[in-house]
Structure 1
């Protein structure tokens, strides 16, 4: 029983494959070739054997010209050494079979979860009596997935994912000595209650600069050392247009707090006193994003009735 060793991807494998493929092009039976297998998958562990799929018109002539020897238990696969590197050459005269090998590579390179599973399957099979048979069922399943994926690949890649996004922000300014925070008492009839300084990002403006500008305009404070703690997203319609908010906290501030603005009164309030009944709609959920490191996002889907937390 031979142990199959898996190792990290080596960029040199790609160049070796290209060099070898150039030599193949000189033969009259050659039609096409492609670097396949795990050494062509940068995100997976690999056997240190470079696999090349070759479409030919005459398998026997190819084997003889390359002085290759059959790989036991691997149909259509032959081994040779090129520039000091062990290589497996998979030979076929059937275009569909050649394409299946390429599709397997392309699918795993495009699907990180399945590529991880492929590594796990091969790690389990490393000391199996027949390494290739041990991973055969997984390979067959991926070939089925790859066929389905390729049938709709162009549709997915060319689907217009553009949506309208309104960028907004909000900041929790905290006094670490008193554990008080700056709040605004909104007088907006549609969104009344306590909330935190924030507003819109102007076109061409950075998120951080917009946050600093909004805080200064609304509170008179200059804030620095803003810490991004999460996001809040409202899906506005079935098309997927969104309002996307970035949520920041800071304890680095200076200046004189304004008494209020056209939006409402400004004051320091104990963080512990900010119960949901005092807060504007949705702010209680956002406060959890601000204060709970395990929560990173508040989200309102098109059909939701309140913010969900993730």
Structure 2
């Protein structure tokens, strides 16, 4: 059998496999117990040889082979592979009479599709195998090792998929508004007895509200300015409890605004200030690392884990 090079996944492979499976059902009738698209052409995240593999579970292989008129190409311990061409597309038919062996190739397909690291390893093994005299023998050991992992994974798959990863999230936001000529920024001097110091306009996202609309609304309410061309520069996350519930903040910058700046609001006095005066002793608690995310393009996140005592930046 000629071994071809690996090519990028083609969505038409799945369509061709589906249509041909319907044809096989007509040809084999009640002798066909089950049929599945398997192999690399059924794995969208990895390259494949442009030959579609179909696994066929039949009651009796003899009448199946008579009906299929396919060319024998490979014999392994638990199955035989046959090749035919249908509508100019090459197909490998893996013929099984053993239901357990048939399920093994299904499990392998599903495992590789669900595990990105092993799918990369499988691709690397196949590329090396293409340089050998026996492609299938060269990848047998690796496939066998994954078959064991696939069986173990399948046994606990339902438990993993039904595990509740849902956490409660409070959505907040903050904006650094900069004057493009003076490079001053708008700050609020918080007067809250529990949280005092300089900070930036921001607040909560209302239920059903978009992040951008919420940011524009908060800025307008607190400063009197209408901001546009908001640029998302990072996030800030506070993990609130050992269940993983979070306050998740989106951080925006802009130099596009219009309107009259308010002198202050119920939050505190509002003013333009140069970045140089925003020293840690003048900033509200926790704002210094957020300012780093605002102003350093190499930083993307400020994060406070449940057991942390300060925000960390990444």
TM-superposed CA distance for 1:174, in Å, is 0.8
The 3-state SS of whatever aligns with 1:137 is: helix
Cα distance in structure 2, aligned partners of 1:277 and 1:293 = 24
Number of the residue aligned with 1:114: 118
Choose 23-32 or 160-169, whichever is displaced more.
Answer: 23-32
In the alignment, structure 1 residue 67 sits paired with structure 2 residue 59? no
* Structure 2 spans left out of the alignment, 5+ residues: none
| 8 A Cα contact 1:193 1:278, kept in partner | yes
Number of the residue aligned with 1:284: 288
The 3-state SS of whatever aligns with 1:25 is: helix
In the alignment, structure 1 residue 56 sits paired with structure 2 residue 55? no
TM-superposed CA distance for 1:22, in Å, is 2.3
| 8 A Cα contact 1:3 1:127, kept in partner | no
| 8 A Cα contact 1:4 1:127, kept in partner | no
Choose 224-233 or 19-28, whichever is displaced more.
Answer: 19-28
* Structure 1 spans left out of the alignment, 5+ residues: none
Instruction: Write out per-residue CA displacement over residues 83-120 of structure 1, whole angstroms, 9 at most, x where no aligned residue.
Output: 22221111122111111111111122223333233223
Where does 1:1-310 land on structure 2 (aligned, <5 Å)? 4-26=4-26, 27=28, 28-72=30-74, 74=76, 76-310=80-314
| 8 A Cα contact 1:79 1:89, kept in partner | yes
| 8 A Cα contact 2:4 2:50, kept in partner | no
Cα distance in structure 2, aligned partners of 1:153 and 1:171 = 43
Instruction: Write out per-residue CA displacement over residues 288-308 of structure 1, whole angstroms, 9 at most, x where no aligned residue.
Output: 221222222112121222222
TM-superposed CA distance for 1:273, in Å, is 2.7
Calculate the TM-score normalised by the size of structure 1.
0.92
Aligned CA distance change for structure 1 residues 305 and 21 (closer, same or farther; 3 Å): same
Cα distance in structure 2, aligned partners of 1:2 and 1:50 = 14
Cα distance in structure 2, aligned partners of 1:195 and 1:61 = 79
Cα distance in structure 1, aligned partners of 2:193 and 2:147 = 58
The 3-state SS of whatever aligns with 2:288 is: helix
Instruction: Write out per-residue CA displacement over residues 146-186 of structure 1, whole angstroms, 9 at most, x where no aligned residue.
Output: 22222222222222233221111000001122221111121
Choose 73-82 or 193-202, whichever is displaced more.
Answer: 73-82
Cα distance in structure 1, aligned partners of 2:64 and 2:95 = 8
Cα distance in structure 2, aligned partners of 1:98 and 1:72 = 16
Aligned CA distance change for structure 1 residues 160 and 180 (closer, same or farther; 3 Å): same
TM-superposed CA distance for 1:231, in Å, is 1.1
